[in-house]
Amino acid sequence: MRIITSSVIFCVLLPLSAAAQTIERGTFKWVDDEGVIHYGDHIPPEYADKPKQRLNDQGVAVEQLEGKKTEEQLAAEERARELELQNELQRRADQALMNTYISVEEIVMHRDRRVELFRAQARVTELYLRNLARRLDQLKREAGRYKPYNSDPNAATIDPSLVAEIKETELAITRHEDNLKQFRNEESRIRERFEGDIERFRKIKGIDDNSDDNSNDTGFAEQPESSSTSLAQIVPE
Protein backbone atom coordinates (compact mmCIF):
# COMPACT_ATOMS: atom_id res chain seq x y z
CA MET A 1 0.00 0.00 0.00
CA ARG A 2 1.35 3.41 -0.92
CA ILE A 3 2.17 5.69 2.01
CA ILE A 4 1.79 9.42 1.63
CA THR A 5 3.33 12.16 3.71
CA SER A 6 1.55 14.40 6.15
CA SER A 7 1.68 17.20 3.59
CA VAL A 8 -0.60 15.18 1.32
CA ILE A 9 -2.99 14.40 4.18
CA PHE A 10 -3.00 18.06 5.03
CA CYS A 11 -3.91 18.92 1.46
CA VAL A 12 -6.79 16.44 1.51
CA LEU A 13 -8.22 17.96 4.67
CA LEU A 14 -7.95 21.51 3.47
CA PRO A 15 -10.45 23.04 1.04
CA LEU A 16 -9.50 22.65 -2.59
CA SER A 17 -8.16 26.19 -2.90
CA ALA A 18 -5.96 25.75 0.12
CA ALA A 19 -4.63 22.46 -1.27
CA ALA A 20 -3.76 24.18 -4.51
CA GLN A 21 -1.88 26.85 -2.60
CA THR A 22 0.06 24.16 -0.73
CA ILE A 23 1.10 22.43 -3.94
CA GLU A 24 1.79 25.76 -5.57
CA ARG A 25 4.64 26.25 -3.15
CA GLY A 26 6.06 22.89 -4.21
CA THR A 27 7.46 22.81 -7.77
CA PHE A 28 8.45 19.13 -7.85
CA LYS A 29 6.82 15.84 -6.94
CA TRP A 30 8.82 12.68 -6.31
CA VAL A 31 8.58 9.33 -4.53
CA ASP A 32 11.19 8.10 -2.09
CA ASP A 33 12.49 4.56 -1.67
CA GLU A 34 9.63 3.72 0.70
CA GLY A 35 7.00 4.78 -1.81
CA VAL A 36 6.23 8.02 0.04
CA ILE A 37 5.21 10.95 -2.17
CA HIS A 38 6.99 14.26 -1.57
CA TYR A 39 6.49 17.81 -2.81
CA GLY A 40 9.04 20.58 -2.71
CA ASP A 41 10.66 23.46 -4.51
CA HIS A 42 13.93 21.55 -4.79
CA ILE A 43 14.99 17.91 -5.02
CA PRO A 44 17.12 16.50 -2.20
CA PRO A 45 20.48 15.25 -3.49
CA GLU A 46 19.68 11.64 -2.57
CA TYR A 47 16.69 11.72 -4.95
CA ALA A 48 18.30 13.67 -7.76
CA ASP A 49 18.63 10.54 -9.90
CA LYS A 50 15.03 9.40 -9.31
CA PRO A 51 12.08 10.03 -11.67
CA LYS A 52 10.16 13.18 -10.76
CA GLN A 53 7.45 15.52 -12.02
CA ARG A 54 7.35 19.28 -12.40
CA LEU A 55 4.01 20.79 -11.32
CA ASN A 56 2.27 23.97 -12.43
CA ASP A 57 0.54 26.46 -10.14
CA GLN A 58 -2.56 24.26 -10.02
CA GLY A 59 -0.59 21.22 -8.90
CA VAL A 60 -0.88 19.51 -12.29
CA ALA A 61 2.12 17.64 -13.65
CA VAL A 62 3.39 19.50 -16.71
CA GLU A 63 6.73 17.74 -17.18
CA GLN A 64 8.02 14.27 -16.50
CA LEU A 65 11.69 14.33 -15.53
CA GLU A 66 13.50 11.07 -16.03
CA GLY A 67 15.69 9.62 -13.35
CA LYS A 68 19.09 8.06 -13.77
CA LYS A 69 19.03 5.74 -16.77
CA THR A 70 20.23 2.16 -16.76
CA GLU A 71 23.16 0.98 -18.84
CA GLU A 72 20.71 -0.75 -21.17
CA GLN A 73 18.70 2.44 -21.66
CA LEU A 74 21.83 4.46 -22.36
CA ALA A 75 23.08 1.86 -24.84
CA ALA A 76 19.71 1.79 -26.61
CA GLU A 77 19.67 5.57 -26.89
CA GLU A 78 23.20 5.55 -28.28
CA ARG A 79 22.23 2.97 -30.90
CA ALA A 80 19.18 5.05 -31.82
CA ARG A 81 21.33 8.17 -32.23
CA GLU A 82 23.83 6.31 -34.39
CA LEU A 83 21.04 4.92 -36.57
CA GLU A 84 19.50 8.36 -36.93
CA LEU A 85 22.89 9.80 -37.91
CA GLN A 86 23.47 7.04 -40.47
CA ASN A 87 20.04 7.62 -41.97
CA GLU A 88 20.68 11.35 -42.21
CA LEU A 89 24.09 10.82 -43.83
CA GLN A 90 22.54 8.38 -46.30
CA ARG A 91 19.77 10.85 -47.09
CA ARG A 92 22.31 13.59 -47.83
CA ALA A 93 24.44 11.23 -49.93
CA ASP A 94 21.38 10.17 -51.92
CA GLN A 95 20.42 13.78 -52.51
CA ALA A 96 23.94 14.64 -53.68
CA LEU A 97 23.92 11.62 -56.01
CA MET A 98 20.60 12.64 -57.56
CA ASN A 99 21.77 16.25 -57.93
CA THR A 100 25.00 15.17 -59.64
CA TYR A 101 23.84 12.57 -62.17
CA ILE A 102 20.81 12.11 -64.36
CA SER A 103 21.52 8.56 -65.56
CA VAL A 104 23.64 5.47 -64.97
CA GLU A 105 25.43 6.18 -68.25
CA GLU A 106 26.60 9.53 -66.92
CA ILE A 107 28.03 7.87 -63.80
CA VAL A 108 29.83 5.31 -65.98
CA MET A 109 31.30 8.07 -68.14
CA HIS A 110 32.55 9.95 -65.08
CA ARG A 111 34.03 6.73 -63.66
CA ASP A 112 35.90 5.96 -66.89
CA ARG A 113 37.43 9.44 -67.00
CA ARG A 114 38.71 9.06 -63.45
CA VAL A 115 40.04 5.57 -64.14
CA GLU A 116 41.90 6.77 -67.24
CA LEU A 117 43.72 9.44 -65.21
CA PHE A 118 45.30 6.81 -62.99
CA ARG A 119 45.96 4.48 -65.91
CA ALA A 120 47.85 7.29 -67.66
CA GLN A 121 49.94 7.89 -64.53
CA ALA A 122 50.60 4.17 -64.31
CA ARG A 123 51.78 4.04 -67.93
CA VAL A 124 54.22 6.90 -67.37
CA THR A 125 55.51 5.24 -64.21
CA GLU A 126 56.01 1.95 -66.03
CA LEU A 127 58.08 3.80 -68.65
CA TYR A 128 60.25 5.29 -65.90
CA LEU A 129 60.72 1.85 -64.40
CA ARG A 130 61.84 0.33 -67.70
CA ASN A 131 64.39 3.09 -68.19
CA LEU A 132 65.63 2.79 -64.62
CA ALA A 133 65.90 -0.98 -64.96
CA ARG A 134 68.07 -0.61 -68.07
CA ARG A 135 70.22 1.98 -66.33
CA LEU A 136 70.67 -0.24 -63.29
CA ASP A 137 71.65 -3.16 -65.52
CA GLN A 138 74.33 -0.99 -67.15
CA LEU A 139 75.65 0.16 -63.79
CA LYS A 140 75.77 -3.39 -62.47
CA ARG A 141 77.71 -4.59 -65.49
CA GLU A 142 80.15 -1.74 -65.05
CA ALA A 143 80.49 -2.51 -61.35
CA GLY A 144 81.29 -6.11 -62.23
CA ARG A 145 84.69 -4.93 -63.49
CA TYR A 146 85.73 -3.80 -60.01
CA LYS A 147 86.22 -5.19 -56.57
CA PRO A 148 84.33 -6.46 -54.64
CA TYR A 149 82.11 -7.56 -57.56
CA ASN A 150 85.07 -8.90 -59.54
CA SER A 151 87.01 -11.83 -58.08
CA ASP A 152 90.14 -10.97 -60.09
CA PRO A 153 92.82 -10.05 -57.51
CA ASN A 154 94.21 -7.50 -59.96
CA ALA A 155 90.86 -5.74 -60.43
CA ALA A 156 90.62 -2.15 -59.28
CA THR A 157 88.41 -1.11 -56.38
CA ILE A 158 85.05 0.29 -57.43
CA ASP A 159 84.67 4.07 -57.43
CA PRO A 160 82.44 5.29 -54.56
CA SER A 161 80.47 7.46 -56.98
CA LEU A 162 79.48 4.34 -58.95
CA VAL A 163 78.31 2.65 -55.74
CA ALA A 164 76.29 5.75 -54.87
CA GLU A 165 74.67 5.86 -58.30
CA ILE A 166 73.68 2.21 -58.06
CA LYS A 167 72.05 2.80 -54.70
CA GLU A 168 70.26 5.92 -55.94
CA THR A 169 68.94 4.01 -58.95
CA GLU A 170 67.72 1.17 -56.75
CA LEU A 171 65.95 3.65 -54.47
CA ALA A 172 64.34 5.34 -57.48
CA ILE A 173 63.07 1.98 -58.72
CA THR A 174 61.59 1.19 -55.31
CA ARG A 175 59.93 4.62 -55.16
CA HIS A 176 58.37 4.30 -58.61
CA GLU A 177 57.22 0.74 -57.90
CA ASP A 178 55.44 2.06 -54.80
CA ASN A 179 53.87 4.82 -56.88
CA LEU A 180 52.70 2.30 -59.47
CA LYS A 181 51.10 0.18 -56.75
CA GLN A 182 49.39 3.28 -55.36
CA PHE A 183 47.99 4.24 -58.79
CA ARG A 184 46.55 0.76 -59.26
CA ASN A 185 45.07 0.77 -55.76
CA GLU A 186 43.48 4.15 -56.43
CA GLU A 187 41.99 2.81 -59.64
CA SER A 188 40.47 -0.10 -57.70
CA ARG A 189 39.06 2.22 -55.05
CA ILE A 190 37.52 4.45 -57.71
CA ARG A 191 35.89 1.45 -59.37
CA GLU A 192 34.45 0.26 -56.06
CA ARG A 193 33.16 3.72 -55.16
CA PHE A 194 31.47 4.24 -58.51
CA GLU A 195 30.01 0.74 -58.46
CA GLY A 196 28.42 1.68 -55.14
CA ASP A 197 27.07 4.90 -56.66
CA ILE A 198 25.65 3.01 -59.63
CA GLU A 199 23.98 0.43 -57.41
CA ARG A 200 22.48 3.13 -55.17
CA PHE A 201 21.33 5.21 -58.16
CA ARG A 202 19.56 2.18 -59.61
CA LYS A 203 17.85 1.45 -56.31
CA ILE A 204 16.62 5.01 -55.86
CA LYS A 205 15.42 5.23 -59.46
CA GLY A 206 13.99 1.71 -59.48
CA ILE A 207 16.17 0.64 -62.40
CA ASP A 208 16.44 -3.08 -63.13
CA ASP A 209 19.94 -4.42 -62.47
CA ASN A 210 19.73 -6.43 -65.69
CA SER A 211 19.11 -3.37 -67.85
CA ASP A 212 21.71 -2.73 -70.55
CA ASP A 213 23.54 0.33 -69.26
CA ASN A 214 27.17 -0.79 -69.84
CA SER A 215 27.96 -0.04 -66.22
CA ASN A 216 30.47 -2.91 -66.13
CA ASP A 217 32.22 -1.75 -69.29
CA THR A 218 35.12 0.54 -68.52
CA GLY A 219 35.44 1.71 -72.08
CA PHE A 220 39.11 0.67 -72.10
CA ALA A 221 40.93 -2.51 -72.93
CA GLU A 222 42.33 -4.27 -69.90
CA GLN A 223 45.90 -3.21 -69.23
CA PRO A 224 48.54 -5.90 -68.83
CA GLU A 225 50.60 -6.12 -65.71
CA SER A 226 53.64 -3.91 -65.51
CA SER A 227 56.29 -4.92 -68.01
CA SER A 228 59.06 -3.55 -65.83
CA THR A 229 61.59 -6.16 -64.82
CA SER A 230 62.11 -6.73 -61.12
CA LEU A 231 65.50 -6.11 -59.54
CA ALA A 232 65.82 -9.80 -58.79
CA GLN A 233 65.78 -10.47 -62.53
CA ILE A 234 68.22 -7.69 -63.37
CA VAL A 235 70.79 -7.75 -60.64
CA PRO A 236 72.62 -10.91 -59.65
CA GLU A 237 73.07 -11.47 -55.94
**Each residue's pLDDT tens digit, 144-203:** 999 888 888 888 998 999 999 999 999 999 999 999 999 999 999 999 999 999 999 999
Q: Determine the 3-state secondary structure of 235 from DSSP.
A: coil
| Same-domain status, 14 and 119 | no
The answer to whether position 80 is within a domain reads no
- Domain extent at residue 180: 101-228
Q: What is the mean pLDDT of the chain?
A: 78
Please report the pLDDT score of residue 208 as a whole number.
Answer: 79
Query: Measured between alpha carbons, how far is 144 from 147 in angstroms, rounded to an integer?
Result: 8
Please report the pLDDT score of residue 226 as a whole number.
Answer: 42
Q: How far is CA 28 from CA 8, 16, 17, 53, 118, in A?
A: 13, 19, 19, 6, 67
| Same-domain status, 166 and 221 | yes
- Which residues lie below 8 Å from residue 89, measured CB to CB, with a gap of 6+? none
pLDDT band at 28 (very low <50, low <70, confident <90, very high): confident
The answer to whether position 57 is within a domain reads yes
The answer to whether position 92 is within a domain reads no
Query: Measured between alpha carbons, how far is 26 from 44 in angstroms, rounded to an integer?
Result: 13
Query: Measured between alpha carbons, how far is 197 from 213 in angstroms, rounded to an integer?
Result: 14
| Same-domain status, 60 and 147 | no
| Same-domain status, 130 and 211 | yes
Phi/psi for 5 (5° steps) reads -80, 170
pLDDT band at 216 (very low <50, low <70, confident <90, very high): low
Query: Measured between alpha carbons, how far is 186 from 120 in angstroms, rounded to an integer?
Result: 12
Out of 43-57, 110-124, 212-226, least confident range: 212-226
